Amino acid sequence: MPPSKADRCRLYLISPPAFVLDDFSCQLSAALNAGDVACVQLRLKGVDDDTIRAASAQLIPICHNHGVAFLINDRPDLAADVGADGVHVGANDASYAEARRLVGKKAIVGVSCYNSRHLAIIAGEDGADYIAFGAFFPTSTKQPRVRAEPELLTWWRNSTTVPCVAIGGISVENCGVLIRAGADFLAVISAIWSHPCNPETAVAAFNKEIETQSRTTISA
């Protein structure tokens, strides 16, 4: 089922850019046991298709056993091939129309719109299941194309029923402003997989902060 707007923001986990599959499978299972997670996106750059297929075959059952959607970054053809729940595409990837054609009407197609209201409106009108905005904070995962401001999330939430994902340098310490601004999902990489304790501690901490900020927003 595609992500949808809800009163409570949810976590959207993105895989680290490289990992040992068996080790990561254990980490992912522990993380998903630790608290609410909506989606997991497999984001592997510079690897061959067979590596993505092998990772998907091992990770999809883990996600589905926890009721979590599994998406692939960039590659709608591979998303369809491995039976993923959907795909996420950016400016240099397949178009929304091409991604939708490849994965089908029932799959999730998310679109990166960076800090562009124009791109977001087009993607939303075309039928994207969610729009991703960011980067909101400095990030070491990749060089951000642009910086986005939290007010963009508020504008989007007040303008449409299409969910929005906030991404870029998000941590437990800085996510509050994004939740209060209207993010439906927080896409997180380093703050989960590079947590000084472990990923499950990070997931639990994010969910605690989401609950706290959601109560603050409702009270306000």
Catalytic residue check, 43: yes
CA–CA distances in Å: residue 47 to residues 31, 42, 209, 213: 24, 12, 35, 38
Catalytic residue check, 29: no
pLDDT digits (tens, 9 = 90+) for 46-96: 999 999 999 999 999 999 999 999 999 999 999 999 999 999 999 888 999
Share of the chain above pLDDT 70, in %: 95
List, in order, residues 6 or more apart from 118 with CB less than 8 Å away.
none
Q: Which residue has the tokens 């609950």?
A: 211
Enter the pTM of the model. Answer: 0.94
Predicted local confidence at residue 219, as pLDDT: 45
List, in order, residues 6 or more apart from 215 with CB less than 8 Å away.
none
Distance CA 74, CA 14 (A): 13
Distance CA 207, CA 136 (A): 19
Region 133-158: mean pLDDT is 90
What is the average pLDDT score of the chain? 94
Beta-carbon-side half-sphere exposure of residue 174 (alpha carbons within 13 Å): 16
Predicted local confidence at residue 4, as pLDDT: 57
Taken in order of first residue, the domains within the chain and their CATH numbers are: 10-219 (3.20.20.70)
Residue in 10, 43, 75, 100 annotated catalytic: 43
CB 126 within 8 A of CB 96: yes
Predicted local confidence at residue 5, as pLDDT: 57
Catalytic residue check, 112: yes
Retrieve residue 5's tokens: 């707007």
Residue in 15, 29, 56, 112 annotated catalytic: 112
Distance CA 14, CA 12 (A): 7
Residue in 53, 142, 208, 215 annotated catalytic: 142
pLDDT band (50, 70, 90) for residue 214 = confident
CB 163 within 8 A of CB 153: no
